[in-house]
Homo-oligomer: A and B are copies of this chain.
């Protein structure tokens, strides 16, 4: 296997079984999964596994033939969106969804440029990987400009400034930098959880201002819901609903298939038609009867188990616990997020806000693992402890996670 593979822990976990919020290693140790948003309806959800197994034994082929599964999925999925977002194109991964969204934006606007927040992660293809500052794409990226994410704790901003205005202007400047290169804007691609930026809740009014600037420049608004979507942040099924953002294209990924590679672009009939008039697209595996059955089972689980309501309630419980932890430990610079998606910005010193090192975070996540709790890290400096459990997370699970964080932070203090 290629050396690009890297593990979360120095002694990597050898997991052999999953069930709900639990993962089990080969020694039979049980871990509370506070990291995997992919299996949002729970590890090995029986209804999803049944849908997968039943359809795989019956038929699995491409969408050049018709099949009721993909039609039913498209209907069920689009019913979760505002009426105008009524058209679905199915692909296999979030990368493919974002890559296709960029292609569609370019075709329908006739423009070439794109803007994303600095340190955003939207995928790993040639085009989408160029957005990732960890990647080494140096040539052929003139079409891309990045802008400062709306980090109200850590970001650069003068005291007393209108932060919504301040950060929206950063997006405006990125559009201006494209213009200065004679490149017109095709799209802004926005992860409304700002995951790779440390999980941020932007200031009120910010996203309206950003989308206004994007549209004024002739671009369209692509909302990447791979992270924020599927009830992740509580209160709403999708991140864009929280902010009154009116997206032109929405992309879906990870949680859509509970581990099965299925993803989607959801857009307006107008944009899809304009794209199809000029260009073409076919995806061999996208929307096949098995993938469609799995994605439908995931939506059904969310409805049947009331996972949106649960993410909201358990999220509020988790938020209250995290707030207490913030008050107690001075190296907790900030707690940011919503629902079941949180970043704890850890600092060496709260007055300077100097980020803890990646090594310290790796030490913390290892201590947490030893407490039987799996978490990750994120943020531009890798200093944010990342909590992103499956949606089937209970208040009891949250209490266990909070207790493990407290215990670990106590060790860090001593």
CA distance A71 to B282 in the complex (A): 31
Binary flags per residue of A55-98, CB closer than 8 Å to B gives 1, else 0: 01111111111111011001000000000000111001111100
Interface residues of A in 218-267 (CB under 8 A from B): 253-254, 258-262, 265, 267
Contact A124 B7 (CB under 8 A): no
A179 interfacial contact with B, CB 8 Å: no
Q: Which one of A52, A61, A262 has the greatest number of beta carbons of chain B within 10 Å?
A: A61
A47 to B290, CA, bound (A): 16
**Per-residue interface assignment for chain A, residues 108 to 141, with 1 indicating a CB less than 8 Å from any chain B CB and 0 otherwise:** 0000100000000000111111000011110110
Chain B, Cβ-Cβ closest to A64? B8
Task: Determine if A127 and B126 form an interchain contact, defined as CB atoms under 8 angstroms apart.
Answer: yes
Chain B's nearest CB lies how many Å from the CB of A147? Answer: 21
CB-CB under 8 A from A12, the residues of chain B are 65-66
Question: From residue 1 to 42 of chain A, which have CB atoms closer than 8 A to chain B?
Answer: 1-8, 12-18, 23, 36, 38-39
Give chain B residues whose Cβ lies under 8 Å from the Cβ of A65.
7-8, 12-15
For residue A44, CB closer than 8 A to chain B, the reply is: yes
Considering the chains assembled together, what is the distance between the CA atoms of A281 and B280 in angstroms? Answer: 28
Would you call A285 an interface residue if the criterion is a C-beta within 8 Å of the partner chain's C-beta atoms? yes
Residue contact B4 to A260, C-beta cutoff 8 Å: no
Give CA–CA (A279, B215) in the complex, Å: 34
CA distance A124 to B88 in the complex (A): 17
Contact B140 A261 (CB under 8 A): no
The reply to whether B279 and A136 form a contact with Cβ atoms under 8 Å apart is: yes
Q: Which residues on the B side are within 8 Å of A409 (C-beta)? A: none
Contacts of A6 in B (CB 8 A): 64, 280, 282
CB-based contact A284/B254 at 8 Å:
yes
Question: Is B64 a contact of A57 with CB atoms below 8 Å?
Answer: no
Chain B hits for A88, CB < 8 A: 1-2
Of B59, B66, B67, B275, which contacts A43 at CB under 8 A? B59
Interface segment among A99-107, A166-174, A338-346, A381-389: the answer is A99-107
Query: Which B residues are CB-close (under 8 A) to A94?
Result: 284
Given contacts A16-B59, A64-B7, A272-B2, contact A135 B280 (CB under 8 A): yes
A273 within 8 A of partner (CB): yes
In angstroms, Cα B282 to Cα A273, docked, is 33
Complex contacts, A282 vs chain B, CB 8 Å: 4, 6, 124
| Complex alpha-carbon distance, A137 and B127, angstroms | 13
Q: Can you list, as one digit per residue, whether each of A277-297 has a CB less than 8 Å from chain B (1) or not (0)?
A: 011111111011011000000
Residues of A within 8 A of B (CB): 1-8, 12-18, 23, 36, 38-39, 43-44, 46, 49, 52-53, 56-68, 70-71, 74, 87-89, 92-96, 99-100, 102-103, 106-107, 112, 124-129, 134-137, 139-140, 143, 253-254, 258-262, 265, 267, 272-273, 275-276, 278-285, 287-288, 290-291
User: What are the 8 closest A-B residue pairs judged by CB atoms, nearest first?
Assistant: A126-B127, A60-B259, A53-B53, A3-B276, A2-B89, A261-B285, A261-B261, A2-B272
